[in-house]
Amino acid sequence: MVGRIMNSYVSHLEAAIDGTILPHDQIQRLHKDRPLWVRYDLDCAGRTLNRETLAARAPTLWRYRELLPLPLDEEPVSLGEGMSPLLPAPRLGDAIGLSDLWVKDESQLPTGSFKSRGLCVAVSMAKHFGIDRLAIPTAGNAGGAMAAYAARAGMEAFVFMPRDTPIINQIECVLAGAALYLVDGLISDCGAIVRNGVEATGWFDCSTLKEPYRIEGKKTMGLELAEQFDWTLPDVILYPTGGGTGLIGMWKAFAELKALGWLESEKLPRMVAVQSDGCAPIPRAFDSGERFATPWENAETCASGLRVPSAVGDFMILDAVRQSGGRAVAVPESQIVQAMHQAVTAEGISICPEAATCVLAAEQLLDTGHIGKDERVVLFNTGAAAKYVETVTLDLPEITDPASVDYERIVR
Ligand SMILES: *Cc1c(COP(=O)(O)O)cnc(C)c1O
């Protein structure tokens, strides 16, 4: 049986652009310069795994083992990632005007962002294929995550990031032993450096969507969401979109759950791709009805994970958004930090600037009637606020004489 060659339920890889089928027992990257899907024998997987057997498993993303590409008898490269909290957000909901708002809080994952989901699966697969040298272009968090998993696996890591990437991302790469290079340019320039170096260095290019496995890691957000809501999906998902791996992955997860027959209702969520108006190629393509996005000039946003002027999976994002009946929206860059502050104050959840764009998007979509006030809305908090030390500026009162404190002024 084809699906069992490697002791996994993977049946084949499929080119997203034209459906070409490729074998999965060797390294594959792109087809016609576009990404690949991992396809599974879901009938077979569904005979081993069901909702009840799943419930008894450990709370990491590896609980969905049969729906992941790593052969079942191989040890994953793991830092305990997955099963992030799904938190009700009533105060933030009140402030926005939503009665059933939830936050899927990815800030608590290893390296403080959901990038660990994709990279633990990609690094595990690289190890499976005998690769010991990895490279990645990054807007920040992906590099930190890859460096951590490479360290965990005992592999060499090479990271290329724009010079102005948040300092925490630089530190986490260096601490994890990666060779880090600061590049005078954007993530696309970093991408070219990695791509052009493949032959000379023999490294494995872990770029977003340029290998098929990061999507598989990120799709576990969708699997968890379904499981945490007792197999009933929300009405709307708000997703801060850079390369789009998470949105694409979740949409794939929902299709797989549907095929497995695990969902309580046929209705799937409306997927909303959110970007800053400082870098909004996806909303622009959505509005003009295009299937591919033209690169954004002079991309600039404090939400560094969203500074992706051109995404290799643009059509996959737009297809998912449109198939779901959702939208792609741009929100004002000038309001992101304030929305971040508002959200953390309201709930105590460590909301990153990327996720703060979704707070603004929720308000905008309520205004335009694209979201109803009583709909169940899930906002993805993709990273930890504390990683963005450059973004929040402080102007704090001081106590110069600890011996004479004016308490009335303090509690006023
Ligand atoms: C990378 C990143 C994003 C964008 O993720 P994609 O799935 O590539 O669109 C959003 N938020 C944070 C914090 C990120 O690091």
Summarised one tens digit per residue, pLDDT across range 200-213 is 999 999 998 999 99
- The structure's pTM equals 0.96
What's the whole-number mean pLDDT along residues 87-91?
A: 98
Could you identify the atom of ligand 1 that is nearest to the CA of residue 242?
9
Q: Whose CA is nearest to atom 5 of ligand 1?
A: 242
**Residues 94/30, Cβ–Cβ less than 8 Å:** no
Ligand 1 in contact with 241 (CB < 6 A)?
Answer: yes
Three-state DSSP at 103 gives: strand
From the list 360, 307, 290, the residue with the least C-alpha distance to 95 is: 360
Cα-based torsion angle of the residue sequence 254, 207, 304, 153 in order, rounded to the nearest 10 degrees = 90
Q: Considering the chain, what percentage of its residues have pLDDT values greater than 70?
A: 99
Region of poorest pLDDT, from 14-28, 322-336, 352-366: 14-28
> What's the pLDDT tens digit per position in 219-237?
999 999 999 999 999 999 9
**Over 60: is that where the pLDDT of 342 sits?**
yes
Ligand 1 in contact with 281 (CB < 6 A)?
Answer: no
Contacts 24+ apart (CB under 8 A), 260-264: 260/42, 260/45, 260/46, 261/46, 262/50, 262/51, 262/226, 262/231, 263/226, 263/231, 263/232, 263/233, 264/230, 264/231, 264/232
> What's the pLDDT tens digit per position in 245-304?
999 999 999 999 999 999 999 899 999 999 999 999 999 999 999 999 999 999 999 999
Ligand 1 in contact with 240 (CB < 6 A)?
Answer: yes
Region of poorest pLDDT, from 154-158, 177-181, 307-311: 307-311
**Over 50: is that where the pLDDT of 32 sits?**
yes
What's the whole-number mean pLDDT along residues 169-175?
A: 98
Could you identify the atom of ligand 1 that is nearest to the CA of residue 247?
7
Ligand 1 in contact with 208 (CB < 6 A)?
Answer: yes
Cα angle value 42/44/45 (rounded, 5°):
60
Could you identify the atom of ligand 1 that is nearest to the CA of residue 353?
13
What are 329's strand-pairing partners? 274
- Tell me what pLDDT residue 6 has: 54
What's the whole-number mean pLDDT along residues 305-314?
A: 94
**Over 50: is that where the pLDDT of 4 sits?**
no
- Which residue has 């190890």 as its token pair? 127
Q: Considering the chain, what percentage of its residues have pLDDT values greater than 90?
A: 95
- Tell me what pLDDT residue 372 has: 98
Distance from residue 237's CA to the centre of ligand 1 (Å): 15
- Tell me what pLDDT residue 1 has: 42
Ligand 1 in contact with 246 (CB < 6 A)?
Answer: yes
What's the whole-number mean pLDDT along residues 93-105?
A: 98
**Over 80: is that where the pLDDT of 218 sits?**
yes
What's the whole-number mean pLDDT along residues 47-59?
A: 94
What's the whole-number mean pLDDT along residues 32-41?
A: 96
CATH match of 86-112+214-387 with 3.40.109.10: no
For the chain, give the mean pLDDT. 96
- Tell me what pLDDT residue 289 has: 98
Cα angle value 339/340/346 (rounded, 5°):
85
Structure tokens at 249: 């992955």
What's the whole-number mean pLDDT along residues 12-17?
A: 96
Structure tokens at 66: 């049969």
Distance from residue 307's CA to the centre of ligand 1 (Å): 9
**Over 90: is that where the pLDDT of 5 sits?**
no
Domain ranges for the chain = 86-112+214-387
